A and B are shown apart, each in its own frame.
Chain A
Amino acid sequence: MSSNPNSMPDPRRPNKILRYKPPSTESNPALEDPTPDYMNLLGMIFSMCGLMLKLKWCAWIAVYCSFISFANSRSSEDTKQMMSSFMLSISAVVMSYLQNPQPMSPPW
């Protein structure tokens, strides 16, 4: 654009630079995607169910939930939370199989 003699003068103004401020999530809670939080919670519930009630399918669903939560998570979110829910679901699966090595029977 600067090579064109008929172009407008340079619109840039280095003195008018404003720094980027990440939009605060408190001002617009509706815009936040609740999926990772719900999936995290669901994963924890299912893994507790799988551990306490010795249900293998609960434990497997918990693993899926923690994967889905991870895929949808924001980069600003704590990875510790994600890892803890993931570890919990894996431990639920492992414990269910240690206690009862029988394979899962399909519901049909």
Chain B
Amino acid sequence: MFPLLLLLLSGASARFDDFDEGDDLVEFDDNDFAEFEDVSEDLPTEPPARTVTTEDDEDEATVEVEDNQEDFEDSETPDEDIYKYDAEEFEGFEKSNPSFNDPINILTVPSHLQNSWESYYMEILMVTGLLAYIMNYIIGKNKNSRLAQAWYNSHKELLESNFALVGDDGTSKEALSTGKLNQENEHIYNLWCSGRVCCEGMLLQLKFLKRQDLLNVLARMMKPACDQVQIKVTLNDEDMDTFVFAVGTKKAMARMQKEMQDLSEFCSDKPKSGAKYGLPESLAILSELGEATEGVMDNKMVHFLINHADKIESIHFSDQFSGPKIMQEEGQPLKLPETKKTLLFTFNVPGMGNTSPKDMEALLPLMNMVIFSIDKVKKLHLNREGKQKAEKNRARVEENFLKQTHGQRQEAAQSRREEKKRAEKERIMSEEDPERQRRLEVG
């Protein structure tokens, strides 16, 4: 009903448009073909003498046809042939004629209405990434575990023949060898051995690469790294003379000289080349006493170092070992850090990350060297001169330390005195008996 009304209305307005095109109502003939005369440009190409019956029409038709022709020539283009339409036929559609020149927009159906799995490709990617991570975790964990076991299997005999206690996690009541590695992490395993002459104990740490972490694996593709075995032998006081000595790769020596408390204090000279002793160019020496270097670098040791130079990262003997330099905060009174006589060894596992369990056997000679070093250090005795020099060095370091902290210690003492006074005053004030208060004040 309503659309019909609309059509009629638009038809009526269309007719008025026709009138507005220029024709007066007066000129409008009453005959049937009057409407044709009005619409000039829309007439198809007809011969002028076509079905026009009235005279007026004929004249007008002719004139109009001429006009028509002119109009046709002006306005007609081959493409618009199909758009020529009979006005009477399309009376109501004048206004609602679709404009064919506008481009057609094809809207995409929103993805959540599409109802297909393909639109969730980002999510599928995420889940795939997670699965890859989990797979890598399992594979990496297993590889590290196999490497650790292979190392232990190849070293077990040597360790058991040298130490009474091989493997201890510190929790069991009795000191019995557990015979297995402690797993600290998915990539760190350690082993504690004890019960031997010349030393208190030996802590071995297998620091593998983080094969279980995919991010780490990808980072290592940029920057290769290798698995490490770190050995720390703690000695009794009588087992070692007083000296500080280190040998290792140039990079490691430079780094340790900056980082390690004892190396930075006692070995202030730059790392020296070991060529004098026949060492390869890749190794450098840091030493407090020349005599100590002479004592350590005997033939067998040099032999070890030359043969396995590629696996040695650093070797550090020290009677003043206290770990890396600790960054103290301001205003904190320092005490000299506790020192312990220690031998430290850091070895690189061959293979640069792509290690197989067989490579662990290559580390066995290095363990032999460790055992040899323990016995050697026990036997190494400095002469009187060397001992005096060492004594002087240690006194110097202590003095420097005391000087540095002098100001801080004074402040600490001052604050302690003030604190005592304050506490005393409070006690007096809080005393309820006035008699006792007076007596205390006097006191």
Contacts and interface: CB of A to CB of B under 8 A. Distances in A.
A71 B168 CA distance: 25
A15 B215 CA distance: 47
Nearest to B133: A67
Contact of B185 (A31, A75, A104, A106): A75
Interface of B: 110-112, 119-123, 126, 129-130, 133-134, 137, 161-165, 168-170, 175, 183-186, 192, 194-198, 200-201, 203, 210, 212-215, 323-324, 326, 375
A2 B165 CA distance: 17
B324 A18 contact: no
Contacts of A1: 161
A105 interface: yes
A30 B213 contact: no
A105 B122 contact: yes
A6 interface: no
A71 B137 contact: yes
Given A19-B170, A71-B213, A72-B210, A103 B194 contact: no
Contacts, number: 101
B130 A63 contact: yes
Contacts of A17: 164-165, 175, 194-195
A2 B201 contact: no
| Chain B interface mostly | mixed
A28 B324 contact: yes
Interface in A5-22: 10-22
Contact of B197 (A13, A75, A103): A13
A70 to B, nearest CB: 8
Nearest to A16: B195
Interface string A30-41: 110000000000
A27 B111 contact: no
A72 B137 CA distance: 10
B369 to A, nearest CB: 15
Nearest to B232: A23
Contacts of A28: 323-324
Interface in A44-87: 60, 63-64, 67-68, 71-76
Contacts of B183: 75
